[in-house]
Chain A
Amino acid sequence: MSQTILIDPVTRLEGHAKVTLKASDSGEIEEAQLHITQIRGFEKFSEGRPFYEMPMLMARICGICSMSHLLAGAKAAEGVMAVKIPPTATKLRKIANLAQAIQSHALSFFYLSSPDLLLGMDSPVEKRHILGLAESHPEIAKAGIQLRSFGQSILEIMGSKRIHTGWIIPGGVTEALTDKKRDQLLSMILQAYANVKAALDLYKRIAPNFKEEIDHFANFPGLFLGMVNQEGGLELTDGTLKLIDPQGNILIERIEAPDYEAHFAEAVEPFSYMKFPYYRKLGYPTGSFRVGPLARLNVASRIDTPLAQAEFKEFKQMCPGPIFGSFHYHHARLIEILYGVEAIERLLNEEEILSTHVRAYAGVNSREGMGIVEAPRGTLYHHYTVNQHGQIEAVNLIVATEHNNDALNKGILQTAKRFVHSNHLEEGMLNRVEAVIRTFDPCLSCSTHAFGQMPMIIELQAANGERLDHIRRKP
C-alpha cells in the first residue's frame, strides 16, 4: 500500500518548513513536496505607507539577509525618485552588501551545514550543531564564529547596528565613512583571510568523502540566473541579470530591474505558500531556474579579485559547462566569502571611500520603481507602485529563495529516492533530506534554529492514514 512520510519541522534552516514524501506500494519514494508554512503579509500591509519608509520596513522581513531587502528597497525607492546616487554611496553600499554576504554565508556553512560535513550525516543528532563542532573541531568553529562576527562588525561600524540598520536610505546613505572607522575595518581583514582560507582548504579535503551526496543532492540539469558586472564578472550589488541554459548558452543578459517582469513570472502550487518563479519564454516548470552562489559562479565568466579568481578557476575545472550538483553550493559560498573579503579591502583602500558626498535628494518623479540585488541566497527583486503623493499602492517582492523553489522540491525528491527507504526509517535519512535543503541555504523568513534536538516526528502513514512506523526526536 502507498505511504506518506512527513518531516515536520525541517531543522537547521532559516524559517519554518515541512517535507512530505510519498512512497509507492513497493516502498520507493515517488513524490516530494516542500511546504512553506508561513504567511508574512509584507506586500499587503505596506500599502498606504510612504515610499521612503519601504527600505526600513522591508528590512524587517528577515534578520539574516535584512541588508538585501534594505538595498533592494532603497533601489526601488530611487526608481520612484528617478535619481542616481553618489559614487561613494554606491561603494559604501557594496561594502555593506559584501559584509552581509560574508556573515550569512558563514552562518550557512559553519553553523548550519559543517556539522554534517565534519561530524558526518549519520552522527548523533545531539552533537550535530555548532556547539558540538566547538568540541570536536574548535579551530573551524572559531573560524566560523570569527567570520560571522567580521561581517556583522562591518555592518555595525558602518551602520551603527548589526541588523536593521537605518544607515541605508533612498538616495544613498545617512553618513560618510570616517578614516577612523575605515582603519578599524581594515584591521580585521587579515584574520578574515586566514579564516576563509582555512575553511576552503578543509572543505576541499573533506568534500571527496561525500560522493553519494554530491551525486544525488539536487544534481540535475537546469537554468541558472545571476547578476554580473559589465565585463561579465561576479557582482552582488550593481550589475545586470544573466540567464543561462544547461549547456551554458546565454538565454538573456543585461537585464535590469525594470525589465524583470517582462522575462519572469510566478506560478502557484496548492501545497505551499511560496510561489514558483520561471522564465516566461520557456513556461512553467521548464523555465524554472536556480539562483544563489552556485548559480552566480555558473553565470560569471570571472571574479575580479585575484585570490577568489584562482579559486574560481579551480572550481570551474569540475566540468566544462555549468556545474549542476547543488552540493557544490557549499564550495561556491566559501569562494564568495573570499571574494567579499578581497573586494571590501580593495574598496576601503580607495581614496573616494571617505568622500562626504553620500546622498542624493528628490521627491516622487516616477509612479513606480524596481530594485534588484543579489542576496546571499540569490536574486532579490522589489517593485513598488506609488500614487502622486508617494504612498505605496502595490508591492511585489520576489525573494531569492522563491527562485529556488522548484529546484528545492526536485532536489528533495532526488535525495529521498536515493536515501530514504520507507519500509525502515532512520535518522540519517531524515538528515540527508534536510541537508539537501541546507545546500540552498533557504531563508524562510523567520529565524528558527535548534542546536541538535528540535522536537521532531517522522511518521510513516498508510494510504488510509494508519500510522505504520515513526521516529521521534525528543526535545
Chain B
Amino acid sequence: MKRVLVLCCGNPIRGDDAAAWKIAENLELLFPLSRVEIVVTQQWLPELAERIRLFDAVFFIDASVEIAPGSISFFDIHPKPYNPGSLSHVLSPCSLLGLAENLYETKPVKAKMLAIGALSLRLYEGLSDLVQDAVPEAVDLLRREIEKLLLIEQEEGDSTLAAQATPLLSSRTNSAS
C-alpha cells in the first residue's frame, strides 16, 4: 500500500520554530499510522533520505522567515543537487530529495513544502498569536491534500482488485457452461 510521509522540522524551544511540531500533533489525530507516517525533527538530516525512499508522497513542513508572519506557502518541490554552500543545519528539502534520488534512484510521486511565516524565533516556548492562528489552516491544507492522495490510492487499489477478480469470474462462468 502506498504511504504518505510528513516531515516536520523545528526547534520547540525557539518560539515560532515549533509551528511544524504543532501541526504534527494535529495531523497525528487525523490519520492512522499505517497510512501516514509523521516524523518530527529538529533539523533536516541525510538519514531522512532513507525514509523518503520508502514513500510515494512526502510533505515537508517548516517555519520560515522569508514570508510574512502567519502566512502560509504551500508548493510543489523537486529534487535538486546539493548546494555546496549549505550548512548541515539548513540542508534543504530539495537537497534531501536529491540525495534520495541519487542514492536510491527513487523519488516521490508528489513532494510538497508547507512553510509557515514566523514572527519570532527567540528562545521561548509557545507560538506567537499570528502563527497559532495559522496552524488550523495549515493543518486543513495538509489534511485535504493527504486525503486526496489516500483516496486515489484507495481507488487504484479497488481497480486492481477488480481487474484481478474478473478472470476468476470468467473461468467459473466457462466451467458452468
Query: CB within 8 Å of B: which residues of A?
Result: 111, 126-127, 130-132, 134-135, 138, 141-142, 145-146, 148-149, 152, 448-454, 475
Contact = CB atoms under 8 A, between A and B. Distances in A.
Contacts of B102: 134-135, 138
Interface stretch (B66-74, B79-87, B123-131, B167-175): B79-87
A131 B99 contact: yes
25 contacts: A126-B84, A127-B84, A130-B46, A131-B82, A131-B95, A131-B99, A132-B82, A134-B99, A134-B102, A134-B103, A135-B102, A138-B103, A141-B103, A145-B103, A146-B50, A148-B46, A149-B47, A149-B50, A449-B87, A450-B87, A450-B88, A451-B91, A452-B84, A453-B85, A475-B85
Given A138-B103, A450-B86, A454-B87, 4 more contacts: A126-B84, A138-B102, A148-B46, A448-B89
Contacts of B49: 145
B130 to A, nearest CB: 29
Contacts of A148: 46-47
Interface in B83-120: 84-89, 91, 95, 99, 102-104
A454 B46 CA distance: 18
B152 to A, nearest CB: 29
Contacts of A452: 84
A451 B88 contact: yes
B88 A145 contact: no
Nearest to A135: B102
Contacts of B91: 451
A131 B46 contact: yes
Contacts of A454: 87
Nearest to A12: B88
Contacts of A451: 82, 84, 86-88, 91
- 4 cross-chain pairs, A with B, having the tightest CB-CB distances, nearest first: A131-B82, A126-B84, A149-B47, A449-B88
Contacts of B99: 131, 134
Which of A135, A141, A145, A146 has the most chain B CB atoms inside 10 A of its CB?
Answer: A145
A111 B46 contact: yes
Which of B47, B85, B95 has the most chain A CB atoms inside 10 A of its CB?
Answer: B47
A127 B82 CA distance: 10
B150 to A, nearest CB: 25
A449 B90 CA distance: 11
A224 B84 CA distance: 39
A138 B95 CA distance: 15
A62 to B, nearest CB: 14
Nearest to B41: A162
Which of A131, A135, A450 has the most chain B CB atoms inside 10 A of its CB?
Answer: A131
A126 B83 CA distance: 9
A453 B95 CA distance: 16
A367 B145 CA distance: 58
A145 B87 contact: no
A142 B50 CA distance: 8
Contacts of B103: 134, 138, 141-142, 145
Which of A138, A149, A451 has the most chain B CB atoms inside 10 A of its CB?
Answer: A451
A146 B104 CA distance: 12
A130 B103 CA distance: 11
A63 to B, nearest CB: 8
Contacts of A141: 103
A449 to B, nearest CB: 5
A475 B83 CA distance: 11
A324 B87 CA distance: 34
A317 to B, nearest CB: 35
A416 B86 CA distance: 28
B93 to A, nearest CB: 14
Contact of B50 (A111, A127, A145, A450): A145
B88 A453 contact: no
A301 B102 CA distance: 42
B83 to A, nearest CB: 8
A137 to B, nearest CB: 10
Nearest to B51: A149
Nearest to B82: A131
A152 B47 contact: yes
Nearest to B87: A450
Contacts of B88: 449-451
